[in-house]
Amino acid sequence: DGGITQSPKYLFRKEGQNVTLSCEQNLNHDAMYWYRQDPGQGLRLIYYSQIVNDFQKGDIAEGYSVSREKKESFPLTVTSAQKNPTAFYLCASTWGYNSPLHFGNGTRLTVT
């Protein structure tokens, strides 16, 4: 069954620690995206990648980093430089501009 897998579903970290969120897709999509969702708000773009070994900053990239070494994988690292990291993080992918965006089920990160 094709789809996007995000793990873990819930993640708890202490302030000052880096944490990496996993995103894996078996849809053979070229483009992958990371969004952040805060309560009552729309999704905000963190990073995106159109092709392997290439990625671009979104609107709120500060304090985050990504890599795209494989087509199917796009991990997101939340660093200690991110001032307000507690949020719901969503990974997405698509064939291209004409195609719908597919989402994983998200990772809820809590930093205390």
Q: Does 87 bind other proteins (CB under 8 A)?
A: no
Complex with other proteins: residue 4 or 76, whichever CB lies closer: 4
Sign (positive or negative) of CA dihedral 69, 50, 57, 17 = negative
Q: Does 75 bind other proteins (CB under 8 A)?
A: no
* Token output for 9: 């579903």
Contact with other proteins (CB under 8 A) among 14, 41, 54, 69 = 41
Q: Does 18 bind other proteins (CB under 8 A)?
A: no
**Angle at CA of residue 41, ends 54 and 85, nearest 5°:** 60
Judge contact between 68 and 55, C-beta under 8 A. Answer: yes
* Sole window of 13-21, 64-72, 73-81, 101-109 interacting with other proteins (rule: CB under 8 A): 101-109
